[in-house]
Amino acid sequence: MNAATSPGDGHGEAAARAAAKTFRVGPVEPPASMQETIVRPGVWGWANWGGGAFDPETGILYLKSVGLDGGDRIQEFDQANAGARGAEVDADYTNRGVPAGFNGSLPFFKPPYARVVAINLNQGTIEWREPFGDMPALRNELARMGVVAPEKLGAPGPAGGN
């Protein structure tokens, strides 16, 4: 059983499609908007800033890539609720990450949400991809719904943090 076939619990494909309609969906790197926008990858996405490893003998570059979705929205800056570093912001508007998903914390897209990728720089090809990390809270939520998750979900976050 998967999220698209969950029995009448509102957690399936129809629920995801209904929730997605509340977001703006656009091309890769959609322009900023005051409307909540689904972005994929989210804030931890692509190869990110965590670095990688390169083997000069084989020409292979190893990176963690993340494809978990997220949401963005431009909003007026609220100095009163900005927290300890709020005084550092000199802007009328800021980009705010917003949760993107449905029924709580279920992502719109299927896993894996992160992978280690080996890229052959000599050939310009991907040698292999392997899911990296796990998301125990999401795994537990899926299990409570009766959804069998893949063995490896992959986990967003810094490249070396999982």
Q: What angle do CA 32, 25, 19 make, to 5 degrees?
A: 120
pLDDT at 95: 76
pLDDT in the model for residue 107? 83
133 in Cβ contact with 112 (< 8 Å): no
The tokens describing 78, both together, are 């609220």
DSSP labels, 73-87:
EEEE--GGGS-TTGG
Number of helices (H) and strands (E) in the chain: give both, helices first.
2, 7
Q: In the chain, what are the domain boundaries?
A: 20-144
| pLDDT at residue 61 greater than cutoff 70 | yes
Q: What's the rounded Cα separation, in Å, for the pair 71 and 123? A: 35
For the whole model, what pTM was predicted? 0.67
Say how far apart CA 78 and CA 63 lie, in whole Å: 37
How far is C-alpha 99 from the chain's CA centre?
A: 10
Q: Give percent above pLDDT 90 in the chain.
A: 19
Q: Distance from first CA to last CA of the chain, Å, rounded?
A: 28
pLDDT per position as a tens digit, 5-60: 343 455 577 888 888 888 877 666 677 788 887 777 665 555 555 678 999 999 99
> pLDDT tens digits, residue range 90-137?
888 887 776 677 776 788 888 898 889 999 999 999 999 999 989 998
Interval 145-150 mean pLDDT: 87
Model confidence at 2, in pLDDT bands (50, 70, 90)? very low
Average pLDDT for residues 139-155, to the nearest whole number? 88
